[in-house]
């Protein structure tokens, strides 16, 4: 028998059971002092750059896990997964368009942004939450394109999300 154990990332992620808002608060309370201390030791620019890279990688993996858990990765499955992020009133959203090809909505209240601001971590909040939105969907389905022009975290009065099924045809190269 080996003394080695599987990495934590190999085990199923069930942390969304507590709600993503609570999960993000727990992460922020742990990650923030860790990053601050590492930034003092190794330099803020590189430490925060690495943190962003890790968050992107984690988000992509979580997107793939979500698609597997839901049993599909089309926009309908994705739209149906919004309960994870809105649980407990974490987001107040207004659906603008929902078809097989497009899922657009506005977030009119974001308790994630409120929570990060209350903790004094608005900048880190963008890294830990907002920056995941586009990369998570890449793991969920690489053919879904993500667009957002503004966020509440960034000071706007609402966030504008658009998930659009891209062109899935593979171009034919002519020789």
- Report the predicted TM-score, pTM, of the whole model to 2 decimal places: 0.80
Res. 170: pLDDT tops 70: no
- pLDDT band, residue 162 (cuts 50/70/90): very high
Q: Tell me which residue range forms the domain holding 43.
A: 19-165
In a domain, 131, yes or no: yes
Confirm whether 30 is domain-assigned.
Answer: yes
Provide the pLDDT for residue 15: 53
- Does residue 10 sit within a domain? no
Q: What is the pLDDT of residue 119?
A: 94
Question: Do 132 and 32 form a contact (C-beta atoms < 8 A)?
Answer: no
Q: Specify if 70 maps to a domain.
A: yes
The CATH number linked to 101 is: 3.30.1380
SS3 163: strand
In a domain, 170, yes or no: no
- Per the structure, how many domains does the chain have? 1
92, part of any domain: yes
Residue 173 is assigned to a structural domain of this protein: no
Structure tokens at 22: 């609570």
Percentage of the chain exceeding pLDDT 70: 85
E strands of 28-71, at which residues? none
Segment 15-68, tens digit of pLDDT: 556 788 988 999 999 999 999 999 999 999 999 999 999 999 999 999 999 999
Indicate the pLDDT class of residue 5, thresholds 50, 70 and 90: very low
Residue 4, in any domain of the structure: no
């Amino acid at each position: 028998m080996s003394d080695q154990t599987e990495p934590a990332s190999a085990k199923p992620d069930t942390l969304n059971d507590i709600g993503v808002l609570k999960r993000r608060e727990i992460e922020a309370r742990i990650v923030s002092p860790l990053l601050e201390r590492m930034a003092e030791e190794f330099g803020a620019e590189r430490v925060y750059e690495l943190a962003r890279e890790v968050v992107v990688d984690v988000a992509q993996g979580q997107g793939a896990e979500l698609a597997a858990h839901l049993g599909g990765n089309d926009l309908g499955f994705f739209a149906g997964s919004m309960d994870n992020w809105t649980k407990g009133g974490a987001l107040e959203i207004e659906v603008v368009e929902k078809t097989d090809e497009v899922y657009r909505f506005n977030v009119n209240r974001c308790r994630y942004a409120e929570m990060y601001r209350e903790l004094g971590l608005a900048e880190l909040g963008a890294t830990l939450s907002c920056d995941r939105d586009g990369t998570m969907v890449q793991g969920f389905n690489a053919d879904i394109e993500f667009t957002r022009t503004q966020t509440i975290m960034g000071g706007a009065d609402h966030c504008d999300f658009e998930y659009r099924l891209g062109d899935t045809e593979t171009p034919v190269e002519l020789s």
